[in-house]
Amino acid sequence: MYMKRLLCADLHIGKGTVKEDEVFDIADFILETAIAKKCTHLDILGDLLENRALLMFRIWPRVQSWFDKLIEAGITVNLMAGNHDFYGNEVRRPSNFRYVQLNPAVNIIDTLFTDPDGVVWVPWLFKDEKIDTTGGKVVFAHLPINGFRMTKSMIADNGVDLAGTTDLPIYAGDFHLAQVSGNIRYLGSIMHHTWNDANTKKSIYVLDEKFQVEEVVPLNPLFTDLLKINYSELSDLQIEGKARVTVTDVPKGEEELVIQVATNKGATSVECLSKSDEVDDEEQEVDGHMTVDEAIGEQVDLHDMTDELAEFHQEMKNG
């Protein structure tokens, strides 16, 4: 049987600084793409959820429904543990997957091994262990690889040295910026989570039976883009779909004009910054959505809720 795989990573469902509906719009698109492209597998390379110990209870039905639809479509779902899926590095059990395990058709990948298809799986907690690629055809990982950009201004130098260790293609989650060097490709996150993602393209990837990229499927039209431009670039601003725009180096007194121009070009919101107002993209969260504190306030601890979740899932299955 011809095997196609659809790859994605770093969904961070439940992150309080992004619009929840947009995350699930992307999840639905992933499902539709997997079906349309006749993919046999969906491989999620870590960080399905945002919070390590807590889950927004209201998102549970939507997450579970998504998995159910994938399984019903005959798609094998492999879910690998990332750093946001473990509760503390000392615990080799993905706490965020406790509820996912109620669906036995979802394959939880939380240990280092090579599967019968030749996929070498490297979850987060095994990033410091020797990776044996003997008999493997491809590496799927969630780990920091040295020499790649953690953010736009930070290059990893305290992670894992993988470059040159194998000729196998390596696909990784963890860093949110999509990037490729040699045989190593970071998939990137599925949407703009913070302003560090501004101006970047987000995608999912279709692999052929030889684990080579057959198609890069863009995601940007599905969520609100974060665009950051200089005042001198305002006339060249182009917006596809929805976008929040930050304009830097705005001369004093020009704010109203900048807002009008950007709005006329399709911006859903505009922020004007003078040179002294600028903030570090890596520290600036996306405002205007639910705050992290508000999100945590609507979350519940899963450690004592297995029975309740199982009952809830059964009610969903019964309609």
Query: With bands split at pLDDT 50, 70 and 90, how would you rate the model's confidence at 286?
Result: very low
Q: Are residues 165 and 250 in the same domain?
A: no
Indicate if the pLDDT at residue 285 is higher than 70: no
Strand extents, DSSP E, 46-191: 54-56, 76-80, 106-109, 113-114, 119-122, 138-142, 149-151, 154-155, 170-173, 179-181, 184-186
pLDDT of residue 73: 96
| Span of 40-44, 122-126, 235-239 with lowest mean pLDDT | 122-126
Indicate if the pLDDT at residue 118 is higher than 90: yes
- Please state, in angstroms and rounded to a whole number, the distance separating the CA atoms of residues 276 and 92: 45
Residue 312 falls inside a structural domain: no
pLDDT of residue 300: 37
Structural domain including 290 reads 225-294
Q: Greater confidence, 3 or 285?
A: 3
Number of structural domains (the chain) is 2
Is residue 43 within 8 A of residue 5, CB to CB? The reply is yes
For 62-67, the CB contacts below 8 A with 24+ separation are: 62/24, 62/27, 63/13, 63/100, 64/99, 64/102, 64/103, 64/313, 64/316, 65/316, 66/24, 66/27, 66/28, 66/31, 67/100, 67/103, 67/105, 67/106
Closest CA to 8 of 144, 188, 128: 188
Q: Are residues 129 and 255 in the same domain?
A: no
Q: Are residues 256 and 272 in the same domain?
A: yes
Its pTM stands at 0.84
Is residue 10 within 8 A of residue 176, CB to CB? The reply is yes
- Please state, in angstroms and rounded to a whole number, the distance separating the CA atoms of residues 153 and 116: 39
DSSP 8-state class, residue 237 = -
Q: Greater confidence, 223 or 18?
A: 223
pLDDT of residue 129: 80
Please give the mean pLDDT across all residues of the chain. Answer: 83
Residue 313 falls inside a structural domain: no
Q: Are residues 235 and 182 in the same domain?
A: no
Q: Are residues 162 and 265 in the same domain?
A: no
Q: Strand 76-80 and strand 113-114: pairing?
A: unpaired
What CATH number is given to the structural domain containing 186? 3.60.21.10
Indicate if the pLDDT at residue 113 is higher than 70: yes
- Residue 94, SS3 per DSSP: coil
Is residue 232 within 8 A of residue 249, CB to CB? The reply is yes
Indicate if the pLDDT at residue 146 is higher than 50: yes
Is residue 30 within 8 A of residue 38, CB to CB? The reply is no
**What value does the mean pLDDT take over residues 215-223?**
92
Indicate if the pLDDT at residue 96 is higher than 70: no
pLDDT of residue 57: 65
Indicate if the pLDDT at residue 227 is higher than 50: yes
pLDDT of residue 52: 55
In the chain, DSSP finds a helix count (H) and a strand count (E) of 5, 19
pLDDT of residue 194: 87
